[in-house]
């Protein structure tokens, strides 16, 4: 039973990581951050002399200033988006299990099919009416 629990925990952690990654904001979206724009404008206004000539601290262009200034809110995923991610994780496991089976690696295929069954059970439980 404990070995099964370890496998279930690993499967769920992997799937939760995929969901967490999907909630991340694209790095390109943070380029319009006001702190980055201010640093760029400030650096451009100094001209060729640079900060050392004016006795000011060096400013890194595009750097966000202050605690939490670079933080961007994560996306809020809908239930349908989360379900699609779990279905994609399930499909990847089934596909990999088929590939392992064709390669004669039955133990690996069996492990992945067990993980797929677990994810399928969670999907089925989520589809049931309350």
Q: Are residues 65 and 31 in the same domain?
A: yes
- Tens digits of residue pLDDT in 112-128: 999 999 999 999 998 76
First to last CA, the chain: 29
Number of Cβ within 10 Å of residue 77's Cβ equals 15
**Domain that residue 64 falls in:** 26-73
pTM: 0.64
- Helix (H) / strand (E) element for 123: namely helix 106-127
Q: Are residues 20 and 80 in the same domain?
A: yes
Q: Are residues 17 and 80 in the same domain?
A: yes
Q: Are residues 49 and 69 in the same domain?
A: yes
- Tens digits of residue pLDDT in 91-116: 999 999 999 999 999 999 999 999 99
Domain count, the chain: 2
Which CATH number is 100's domain given?
1.10.1510
Q: Are residues 62 and 104 in the same domain?
A: no
Q: Are residues 90 and 128 in the same domain?
A: yes
Q: Are residues 79 and 16 in the same domain?
A: yes
Which residues, 6+ apart, have CB-to-CB distance to 10 below 8 Å?
A: none
Q: Are residues 79 and 104 in the same domain?
A: yes
Q: Are residues 79 and 18 in the same domain?
A: yes
- Tens digits of residue pLDDT in 35-93: 444 444 444 444 445 545 555 566 666 666 666 666 778 889 999 999 999 999 999 99
Q: Are residues 18 and 79 in the same domain?
A: yes
Q: Are residues 31 and 57 in the same domain?
A: yes
Number of Cβ within 10 Å of residue 15's Cβ equals 21
Q: Are residues 124 and 103 in the same domain?
A: yes
């Amino acid at each position: 039973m404990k070995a099964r629990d370890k496998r279930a925990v690993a499967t769920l952690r992997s799937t939760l990581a995929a969901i967490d990654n999907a909630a991340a904001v694209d790095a390109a979206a943070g380029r319009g951050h006001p702190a980055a724009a201010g640093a760029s404008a400030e650096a451009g206004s100094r001209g060729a002399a640079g900060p050392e000539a004016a006795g000011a601290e060096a400013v890194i262009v595009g750097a966000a200033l202050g605690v939490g200034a670079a933080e961007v809110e994560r996306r809020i995923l809908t239930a349908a988006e989360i379900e699609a991610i779990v279905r994609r994780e399930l499909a990847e496991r089934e596909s990999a299990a088929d590939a392992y089976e064709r390669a004669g690696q039955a133990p690996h295929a069996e492990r992945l099919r067990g993980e797929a069954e677990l994810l399928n059970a969670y999907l089925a439980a989520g589809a049931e009416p309350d």
